[in-house]
Amino acid sequence: MTLKSPPHKRPQPSQNLKQVLAAVQNKQNREVHLHLDGRDLKLTHLDKIYFPKAGYSKRDVLSYYATVSPFLLPFLKDRPLVLHRFPNGIAKPAFYQKEAGASIPEWIRTVEIFSETKGHNVAYFLIDDLPSLLYMTNLGCIEHNPFSARADDLDQPDYMFFDLDPSEGCPFSGVVRAAQAIITVLQRARLKFFIKTSGATGLHLFIPIKRKYDFAQVRALLEIIARLADAEEPGLLTRIFKVHDRPSHSVFVDVRQNAYAQSLASVFSLRPREGAPVSTPLSSQELKPTLRPERWNIESVLGDLKSRSKLWANFWQTQQTLEAALSALENSKS
C-alpha cells in the first residue's frame, strides 16, 4: 500500500473553527468559500435538506461536524474510509465510494490498497483534518466509518470492538443487558472499554489494544469473551449471522467486522436515519433499562459535548495486550 503523502501529526483544533462556523451558520450564505489551514475549500448547497422529517439541512450537518471535529478527528486520522454518500439527503438514493478518483483536491490524502476484485490498487480517502472532514461532508458523507487499522499497516488494528444489534422484538433494554454481560467479562479480563450508542438500534463496545496483533488473534479473544458473556445472560446473546434465523428477542453479538478493510461508525458520527442520531459516548452508569439512545442527535449531543467528549478522552492513552486479558480470565476461574 502507498500513502499519497507522509502521515500528519495528531489533528489539532483549527484556529479557524469559529470562522468556519460563522460562515456555515449564516443562513444568507447558500455556499461558502473558505481558506482554511492553507487550503481552499468550497461548501455548496447549504440549504439542501438532508433529514426531511426533522428538517436538518446540509448546513446543519457541516456545522455539526465542524463543532465536534476536535473529538472526532483523532478517530479518523490515518484510517482509510469507504464513503457512504447521500448527495440529496437520506430520503434519496445513496451509494458507496471506495476509489477516490482523479478530481479531488491535491491536499486530500489517500492510500492505495490492492483490490482483489479489481486486480489493482484502489486509492482510499483519508480524513486527517478539518478541511478534509468538511470536504467529505460536502460530498454528502453523512456518516464516517473508518477502518480499525491505520493506513501504514492495515493488518494490525489498534482497537477491537463488539457490535450489539437487537433482533426483531428485542427492546433496547435487552441490548443494555447484553452489554452488561459483556462488560462483566471485560472486567474479569481487566480490559478497559469504551461504550457508545451505535446511532441506530444497538450499542458498541470499543477496546483499545497494542498495535501488534492480527485480526484472527483479535477475533479469537472476542469470541472467548462472547461465549463467557453468554453464560451471564443465557438465551439473550446470539452469534447467528443471518437475521431471519436469529431467535426473537435476542441480541446479535457481532465480532466479524474485526477484519481486514472492515469498518464501523466512528464515535460522534452522525447516522443516516431520521432524527439525525449520533453515535454517542456513554458511561457504564448510564447502562440502565430506561436508556433511550434516540435522545442523542445532531442537536442534543452538542448541548452535552463537553461531558460526552470526556468519556472517550483517554482512549488513545490506553494500550492493552491480549495476553494479559487471557491471563486475567484464566486467573478469574480460580
Q: Where are the domains of the chain?
A: 2-138, 159-332
Long-range contacts, 303-306 (Cβ 8 Å, 24+): 305/67, 305/68, 305/71
User: Looking at residue 123, what is its pLDDT?
Assistant: 93
Task: Note the helical H segments in 83-238.
Answer: 130-138, 172-188, 215-232
Whole-number Å distance between alpha carbons of 121 and 119? 7
pLDDT at 3: 57
Give the C-alpha separation, 164 to 252, whole Å.
6
Residues of the chain with pLDDT under 70: 1-15, 334
Which pLDDT score is estimated for 2?
A: 56
What pLDDT, on a 0 to 100 scale, did the predictor assign at position 6?
40
Distance (Å, rounded) from C-alpha 332 to C-alpha 197? Answer: 29
Decide if 46 contacts 60 (C-beta within 8 A): no
Contacts of 124 (CB under 8 A, 6+ apart): 80, 81, 82, 98, 99, 100, 110, 111, 112, 113, 151
Q: What is the pLDDT of residue 11?
A: 47
Identify the helix (H) or strand (E) that includes residue 60. Answer: helix 58-72
CATH number for the domain running over 159-332? 3.90.920.10
Whose grid coordinates read 497494542? 210
Place of cell 432524527: 275
Q: What is the distance in angstroms between the CA of the first residue and the CA of the last residue of the chain?
A: 46
pLDDT for 8 equals 43
Q: What is the pLDDT of residue 114?
A: 87
Locate all alpha helices (DSSP H) within 118-167, ordered by sequence. Answer: 130-138
